[in-house]
A and B are shown apart, each in its own frame.
Chain A
Amino acid sequence: MLLIAATALLSHWRRRPLQLATFILGLSLATALWSGIQAINTEARASYARAASMLHQSELMQLLPRNGNSIRQSTYARLRRAGWNVSPVIEGDHRFGNTRVRIIGIDPLTMPAKAGRFEAGGVSDLAAFMSEPGVLMVSQVTALKLEGHTQMQLRISSDMPEGAGFADIGIAERILEKRGELTRLVVAPEQRPDLPSLDMLAPDITIKPSGERPDVAQLTDSFHLNLTAFGFLAFAVGLFIVYATIGLAFEQRRATFRTLRSLGLSLSSLTLLLMAELLVLALLAGFIGVVIGYFVASLLLPGVAATLQGLYGASVPGTLSLRPEWWTTGLAIAVAGTIVSSAQSLWRVHRMPLLSSAQPRAWARASAMGVRIQVLGGLVLLFASAILATFGQGLAAGFAVLGSLLLGAALILPGVLSACLAVMQKHSSRALVTWFWADTRQQLPGLNLALMALLLALAANVGVGTMVSSFRLTFIDWLDQRLAAELYVTAREENEASRLRAWLPAHSTSVLPIWSVEGEVLGDRLQIFGAAADDRTYRDRWPLLLGTADVWDRVAMGQGALVNEQLWRRKGLAVGNDLTLPGGWEIPIVGVYSDYGNPKGQVIVGIDTLTTHYPNISKLRYGVRIPPADAPALRRLLTSEFGLPAENIIDQAALKRQSRAVFDQTFAVTGALNIFTLGIAGFAMFSSLLTLSGIRLPQLAPVWAMGIRRRDLALLEVLRTLVLWLATFAAAIPVGLALAWVLLSIVNVEAFGWRLPLRIFPMDWLILGLVALGAAILSVFLPLRRLSTIRPADLLTVFANER
């Protein structure tokens, strides 16, 4: 019995291969995007963890300087003498030719074994490692870039992240010119009992516990959350397709269900059979989805890697490793999605009375009541979204605002469309026009889900597009202000720097030192910059968000500090607050400046104040002001007369170009995801239209019989699709703008710490509208061909058969 029943049920799919394909494709696309994005996230997170454990020995406890830049050699010696098993590390950036490398100098003799996935190799190797010119352990890629730019022996290690290298601490000290200043101390896990406490031995040191999440991982959290949100949106849009096809497949088999039931198949067996069928299909789709997801991920990963590099300086390999847990999560999400989208259909089968008459399309004829409840639910969600936007706090609240806004808008869409169509119908008097609106309204239930999916995709496109374009415009304005100096020069070492300081003033309008120190402020490690605040450049160009005209005077006199927007928002600071800076001195905040593209907090003090409090800072970088026309000449002079390598000079235009490239790269992924989502929505529309075209004949045949040509009917079909697309598109614009507002004013503030003005780009909408139009025409093409090639004989069968 079961076998016969199963055959009867499955024969449905054999007769409707297109429906089967739609189901499988919809589900696997949804799964693909979701699992692809999960793959990217896990890959990136794994790489942060790898890098942290490799470069920063993050599984071990560390000692960091509490104030200023470094730990003194004497502190280290004191700890060792007292019996503490600690190992010193010197860390810093160094430029080899054009390549900047993070050099980590370690002491192979005292470095705890546990910290070492690092192996210095045999004893002879150790000797080479520790003696001049030294060995630099780097990744394959970094080694290629460094070839010929250093005398150090390059050793390739597959474990090394890109752009970083291990060297002996003595060698690193020389290269980085650290003169006995240690960056941090690694504490070995095994220590003698009853050692004197660290507080007593070294009061100016803080302890960083082992196993903390790497900084990069925390910084990039919001980025990954964004990706996840996008993946989820695409998944939801895909589920609309699945829901619609399952609903249709169940409805079309109602008669079969009833026959099987009356032949003695128990309700539970029937439900079980259907669930088994769905499970098999879900697993198949999940399998395909994971495979597609792998390709999606490897397609997107280079872009994501570039983004992470540009935004956060996080290095992620551009290649993907296939992980076994992908299969399980991918299949699980496909099954979960199927369960969610089939629950209603299964429930209906469960409650189906044995004797009710077959009502084709009952599933699509959503009652007016249903629509009303849906609209009500949508309104509640929109209201909740507004409440959350006003009173909510945190990134999670921001995403909740986004979610309820999108879902709420999608839910009220059918009601709004239906009301609009009713109004149009009322106000038309010609028979064909009235019929057009009435008939369009009748198609709505079958198209609702597709239109909702389309609304989501279009709104996301408008919203994210507006956000990115607003951001871009603001960012470029800001760059123009912020990058004021015509040339930026970097000396190779301190001697050259002091020669530069002597040489430059005679050849330029003014010289702006770009010196900084890293330290702990309000519990975060951040950078403190010095500014030659009495220079006109700052007054004229520096983009201040808060602060009076005299702020630069006060900064120059050492009476005040400026903080960037991120720090100001995150710590809830106010102008007038006192800020305690590394070393324990205090200075009042006098202003706030915008600092886009920087994930971290930042402080600016007067340059003299900086050097007084931190005399040992490196003084290598300078901005040079000069009339723009003279910049190329100065550049030549700097290389020929002064002897600075060309790569140590960068002009404003090049810097802007680089920044813009980083920016554009950053949002390339977003663009790609947008297109994917739109593609899925287009597919949803296509499958719905195709489904409808199959049941349109009885609706069209009487109109044809009363003297409307097939050609005109086909044209009206196109027109109907276009009208619905356009209406949805029009609805998507306000929803998208609301979305952009939430992204700019809530999510960005929470995620990055900066708030951006919303700007409007109607041209972008036009382009999106055209793309949507193209998709509309594509989606209606096949269903239309079906309709326009109907033979009169097919239409006649409508009249000949009682349906």
Chain B
Amino acid sequence: MLLSLRNVRKSYTTAEGRLEILKGIDLDLDGGESVALTGESGSGKSTLLHLVAGLDHADAGEIVSSGRSLATLDDRRRAEYRRTAVGLVFQHFNLIPSLDVGANISFHAKLAGRHDPAWERELVELLGVETLLARYPEQLSGGQQQRVAIGRTLAAKPPLVLADEPTGNLDEATGDIVLNIMLSLTKSTGAALLLVTHSTRLAQMLDRSVHLRGGRIA
């Protein structure tokens, strides 16, 4: 089992009081498996992804990823986990504004110590961003930024790929192409893919689909 979540809970304290977002999530992913995560806006999909990515702490329950129990990691190990064991495609891309596209794509791979120029060239071609390498993020369209963000994550070859609506800014045709690339790449590297999407059509292209409602996996 590459990833397993047991009874994971998360709540936010806001001005209106305590807001329970996740009320006990159980979820398992094997290596090479791809799972679609669907749910209404505000149901907690991004929240869940952030917990798995090691960006935030769960209030209760256990998340075990690549053999690590996230709750037990100290700050240094947690950073190391983010660097090497997981890759996250953000809903809003979050490219590094000071680096050009080429440097953005190789950034995570280099940090993870898995920089592979040949693999990177292949990715760049598959994603169709080879003409954009010298540009800066602010000079890209939303769709272009999204493809770069996907390239950045895949270039690092993480065992677990998390993607938050990676095709939200792409037209249907490009979206399909990009999703197929992600699927084939995760399959070929044996990585697991957890992908948030609103589209049932896209969800059907994956191995399995789970739905988040009322803070639980339905």
A residues with a Cβ closer than 8 A to B are 430-432, 434-435, 438-439, 441-442, 698-699, 701-703, 705-711, 792-793, 795-796, 798-803
Contact = CB atoms under 8 A, between A and B. Distances in A.
Contacts of A793: 56
B46 A702 contact: no
10 contacts: A432-B111, A438-B103, A442-B97, A705-B55, A705-B88, A705-B94, A710-B75, A799-B50, A799-B90, A801-B92
Nearest to A712: B79
Interface in B46-66: 46, 50, 53, 55-57
A431 B94 contact: no
B96 A435 contact: yes
Contacts of B80: 707
Contacts of B84: 707
B43 interface: no
Given A430-B110, A435-B96, A799-B46, A706 B55 contact: no
B95 interface: yes
Contacts of A703: 96
B111 A431 contact: yes
Interface in B78-131: 79-84, 88, 90-92, 94-99, 103, 106-108, 110-112
Contact of A431 (B55, B90, B95, B106): B106
B90 A707 contact: no
Contact of B107 (A435, A798, A803): A435
A705 B86 CA distance: 10
A699 B97 CA distance: 7
A285 B4 CA distance: 61
Given A707-B82, A798-B94, 9 more contacts: A434-B103, A439-B96, A439-B98, A442-B98, A702-B96, A707-B81, A707-B84, A793-B56, A795-B55
Nearest to B12: A793
Given A707-B80, A707-B111, A800-B46, A435 B99 contact: yes
B70 to A, nearest CB: 13
A701 B94 contact: yes
Contacts of A792: 55-57
A709 B50 contact: no
A96 B76 CA distance: 80
A708 B81 CA distance: 10
Nearest to B104: A702
Contacts of B97: 442, 698-699
Contacts of A441: 98
Interface of B: 46, 50, 53, 55-57, 75-76, 79-84, 88, 90-92, 94-99, 103, 106-108, 110-112
Contacts of B75: 709-711
A757 B145 CA distance: 61
Interface pairs A-B: 9 shortest CB-CB: A707-B83, A431-B110, A707-B82, A442-B98, A438-B98, A702-B94, A439-B98, A709-B79, A707-B79
Contacts of A438: 96, 98-99, 103
A140 B53 CA distance: 82
Nearest to B138: A365
A207 to B, nearest CB: 75
A702 B96 CA distance: 7
Contacts of B83: 706-708
B209 to A, nearest CB: 24
Nearest to B99: A438
A796 B107 contact: no
A706 B46 contact: no
Contacts of A698: 94, 97
Contacts of B110: 430-431
Contacts of A432: 111
A194 B97 CA distance: 90
Nearest to A437: B98
Contacts of B55: 705, 792, 795-796, 799
Contacts of B111: 431-432, 706-708
Given A434-B103, A706-B111, A796 B79 contact: no
Contacts of B57: 792
A277 to B, nearest CB: 31
B79 A434 contact: no
A567 to B, nearest CB: 62
Given A799-B46, A799-B50, A706 B82 contact: yes
Nearest to B80: A707
A709 B80 CA distance: 9
B88 to A, nearest CB: 7
A442 B103 CA distance: 15
A184 to B, nearest CB: 75
Nearest to A365: B138
Nearest to A432: B111
Contacts of A431: 103, 106-107, 110-111
A796 B76 CA distance: 18
Nearest to B50: A796
Count chain B CB atoms within 10 A of each CB in A431, A438, A698, A701 and give the residue with the most: A431
Count chain B CB atoms within 10 A of each CB in A435, A702, A706, A711 and give the residue with the most: A706
B113 to A, nearest CB: 10
A702 B82 contact: no
Contact of B56 (A707, A709, A796): A796
B53 A705 contact: yes
A706 B108 contact: yes
Nearest to A711: B75
A709 B111 CA distance: 12
Count chain B CB atoms within 10 A of each CB in A701, A705, A792, A802 and give the residue with the most: A705
Contacts of B88: 705
A706 B79 CA distance: 8
Nearest to A701: B94
A293 to B, nearest CB: 42
A708 B90 contact: no
B79 A708 contact: yes
Nearest to B97: A699
A27 to B, nearest CB: 32
Contact of B91 (A442, A795, A799, A803): A799
Contact of B76 (A435, A701, A709): A709
A702 B107 CA distance: 11
Contacts of A708: 79, 83, 111
A711 B75 CA distance: 10
Contacts of A802: 92
A716 to B, nearest CB: 12
A251 to B, nearest CB: 16
